[in-house]
Chains A and B, each alone.
Chain A
Amino acid sequence: MLTRRSLLRTASALAAGSALPGLAFAQTGPLRLEITEGVIEPLPFAIPSFIARNGGAADAAADITRVVAADLRGTGLFRQIPESSHISTVTSFDAPIQYNDWRAINAQALIIGEVEESGGRLTVRFRLFDVFSGQPLGEGLQFVGAREGWRRMAHNVADQVYERITGEGGYFDTRVVFIHEEGPKNARLKRIALMDYDGANVQFLTDSRNLVLAPRFSPTGDRIIYTSYESGQPRVYMMDVANLTPRPLEAISSGNMTFSPRFTPDGGSVVFSMEQGGNSDIYRVSVSGGSRVQLTNAPSIETAPSFSPDGSQMVFESDRSGGQQIYVMPAGGGEPRRISQGTGRYGTPVWSPRGDYIAFTKQEAGRFHIGVMRTNGSEERLLTASFLDEGPTWAPNGRVLMFTRETAGADGAPAVYSVDISGRNLQRVATPGMASDPSWSPRLS
């Protein structure tokens, strides 16, 4: 991977930058060596069961430990060392850490916690240690909340651990809105549902009377926008998560289909597709009403708009070249620039919340892929392959994607999967039944 040019560049930088305190052959000063090869493997961690400070906290302590461990394991970046292998038993939250015991079982990170229950409220404390350097990683933290909120407290502990070790924002205290599906393939019933990112706490936001598609969270996570056939036509509706009352995005003359909505990064507007006379273009309208602004104007299909996090650019798909491809244009209007360059068809582009990548669906040679590319279309990387994968959504840290995977045939069924943007750690997300069209919320805390 390392080219000779980059080697030379490094060497020059070394020579110029450090006034030669001693390169490999210099006879004074430290021995200097460059390490360019490493390993990529899950980091082993130990999480002894959190201590229950009193009897009322026993269940919560066990549950919280389990969820923290599951969160970390689920990233694929961490490997849990089973408690049966532990040498040290942690009996007190404040007892000195027996680092050598943890080194002996190759635990590189150690999570110690305790839970206290009082009057229906839980106090959760934890500390994280870097075992091999014998130091805490960051300060201890304490979360206080109602007992029913134990899952969120556990997710917050895991978010902290994840952040401190990886330097990346955590994504465990998040939710996912998705479509729950029931019934045979030619008579599907669909409902909008909400769950924690790990599949817990499923709630249904709509019943199955009206066909509903592709719900998406607002940037603050308090609203959902989606497409419903409530009026007979596909039409964009918005719903406050707090009161679950749907309302149409705007009054549109009958006969026009609106679909594929997504919030702008400030949450103040929605971009969506509207069809007129068979032609679909992209429009923008303020959530508080007002006139809509047409952003694309072409006789081809323009849909699946998504904004860059700074709001300056919009990515979307269009078949103006003959097949679905991905284009970027200035948010205020201007000439779209095609960025997808490979063979096959590209759709459902979604800009990463970090701004560095665009995730997409690619269709080629009878198979579907989820992939990522740089925002100029370079460095395309396909992460998955199956009969039908589509519709990626980003975790708030821009490192993990969820998407829909549907199996083939008369019994074909959709499910939600997640995958790391490196292509590793492909997993099915537990849902109560068939599920599709996930949309990841921002961090709740």
Chain B
Amino acid sequence: MTLRFRASALLLSAALALSACAQGNLSNDGAGGIGGPGGIGSASDPTSIAFFNQSIGDRVLFAVDQSTLSSEAQSILAAQAQWLLSNGEYLALVEGHADEQGTREYNLALGARRASAVRDYLVSQGVPASRLSTVSYGKERPLEICSNEACYSQNRRAVTVVSAGAGV
């Protein structure tokens, strides 16, 4: 249930991990239950969701107000695309997020732009569009909660949430 936050939870304190779990639950509600009942497997299994989240990296970050992909982001997404191509039974939902330094509705639109940029890149790498969807959370689901650039930079993100879906 807490797929996309597991990676960061491992790195953070226990307290933060708790809130991240809560957030993951909420997010899954919002995303209509994507994530499914299955486990995420072991990070040592290269076909597992855990491997995708931790070893490949499930997220890319953006500059203020931007939705263009940095070269670092592009290499992460290229690896994501490779993984999706070799694990064809998974679907991916790309969540777009913004930091809190913006108005609510603009940030929703900005998050959609970011999610769309990631989706387009994955498609350009050969992932079938039918396996990809997007959603924007704007500034509604911050990952980090401080009010300075250290946190903002982590919140301006697009997260690829993979789930076992195809063939179900």
Contact = CB atoms under 8 A, between A and B. Distances in A.
A388 B142 CA distance: 15
B133 A255 contact: yes
B50 interface: no
Contact of A278 (B20, B30, B116, B141): B116
Given A213-B140, A231-B32, A280 B109 contact: yes
Nearest to B151: A410
B116 A211 contact: no
Contacts of A347: 102-103, 105-106
B142 A317 contact: no
A186 B141 CA distance: 6
Contacts of A373: none
Interface range on chain A (Cβ under 8 Å from partner): 35 or more
Interface in A348-367: 348, 361, 363, 366
Interface in A237-290: 254-255, 257, 259-260, 273, 275, 277-280
Contact of A277 (B116, B142, B143, B145): B116
A234 B113 CA distance: 14
Nearest to B114: A278
A279 B136 CA distance: 12
Given A255-B133, A348-B103, A390-B103, A275 B109 contact: yes
B145 A184 contact: yes
Interface in A388-417: 388, 390-391, 406, 408-410, 412
A249 B110 CA distance: 23
B112 interface: yes
A406 B19 CA distance: 20
Given A233-B135, A278-B67, A412-B147, A186 B142 contact: yes
B162 interface: no
Nearest to B5: A186
Given A259-B105, A323-B65, A391-B103, A187 B23 contact: yes
Contacts of B105: 213-214, 259-260, 273, 303-304, 347-348
Nearest to B110: A301
Contacts of B69: none
B71 to A, nearest CB: 20
Interface string B124-142: 0000000001111100111
Residue in B20, B31, B134 with the greatest tally of chain A CB atoms within 10 Å = B134
Contact of A324 (B106, B116, B145): B106
Contacts of B133: 254-255
A101 B73 CA distance: 77
B63 interface: no
A347 B65 CA distance: 14
Nearest to A409: B147
A431 interface: no
Nearest to A254: B133
B106 A301 contact: yes
Residue in B133, B136, B143, B147 with the greatest tally of chain A CB atoms within 10 Å = B147
B19 A259 contact: no
Interface string B18-41: 011011001001111110000000
Interface of B: 19-20, 22-23, 26, 29-34, 65, 67, 100-106, 108-110, 112-117, 120, 133-137, 140-147
29 contacts: A184-B19, A185-B142, A186-B19, A186-B23, A186-B144, A187-B19, A187-B26, A211-B26, A211-B140, A213-B108, A214-B104, A214-B105, A229-B29, A232-B135, A234-B108, A257-B108, A259-B108, A277-B120, A278-B117, A280-B112, A324-B103, A347-B103, A347-B106, A348-B105, A363-B103, A387-B147, A391-B103, A410-B147, A412-B145
